[in-house]
Amino acid sequence: MNKKAKRRLVVMGGIIAIAMLVIVAIAGAGGSASSVTVADVATGSYQGKKVQVSGVVVADSIEKDGARVTFDIAPEDESGAPNPSVRLRVGYEGALPATFGAGVVAICTGDVDNPPFLNCTEMVTKCPSKYESAEGSLTVKGLLDQADAMLFEDTKVCGYVEGDVNDASSAIRFTIESQGATLNVVYNGGLDEQIADGVAVVVSGHLDSDGNFVATEQPAIDASITK
């Protein structure tokens, strides 16, 4: 092999090595995320960086504009509730998991803007399963038959989920049916991912003036309910 060929081979090898280093650097920068707290991001020192941060979704902070949802997360206090003294605004575009809602823990990964705002590209939510007996609860028909007397009265209603379960930003979360009557349920918290069309549930809350049932706690699954 002559000197010119050797030189060309060395140059080509150097170019390939540099290209591989650039690819590795780009992949590493895009794939790694620093695990930080809400308070860490709030300091403003993570602008332009990719982070993973977890916090409790703050009630009444969820806003939806088309496919994009924005909400606040805050660190948990000793009781598991959000600590409102420190908040981080998060933007997420995509289908929301059924478990997403006010009061649930959201683990969000994305890039930080300034002022501190997280453009979330990956989100995982945690919502515990809940089971409860339907004993003592009203059927949908039983509740609606005495609607005037039950308006804004705390009670429990049982039935089967009918149709789709919407995300937490929707005005109506889902509809339940029992004894031939249906009732829309309003709830912006997290749901057990098992709650879907045909699943028997027990919901605590009250009937409002629009004829909807406003759930005041996480709806529970109950396999003993019969149509």
Instruction: Convert the pLDDT of each residue in 158-196 to its tens digit.
Output: 999 999 999 998 999 999 999 999 999 999 999 998 999
Output the pLDDT for position 23: 42
Structure pTM?
A: 0.73
Count the alpha carbons within 13 Å of 22 in the hemisphere toward its beta carbon. Answer: 6
Mean pLDDT of 207-220: 96
If one looks up domain 33-126 in CATH, what number appears? 2.40.50.140
Mean pLDDT of 3-26: 50
Print burial letters for 85-101: b (CB count within 10 Å at least 16), e (below 16).
ebbbbbbbeeebbbbbb
Check whether 87 has a pLDDT greater than 50: yes
Q: What is the mean pLDDT of the chain?
A: 86
* Domain formed by 138-221, architecture: Beta Barrel (2.40)
Output the pLDDT for position 27: 43
Output the pLDDT for position 98: 81
* E runs forming strands in 78-180: 88-93, 105-113, 117-126, 138-139, 155-161, 174-178
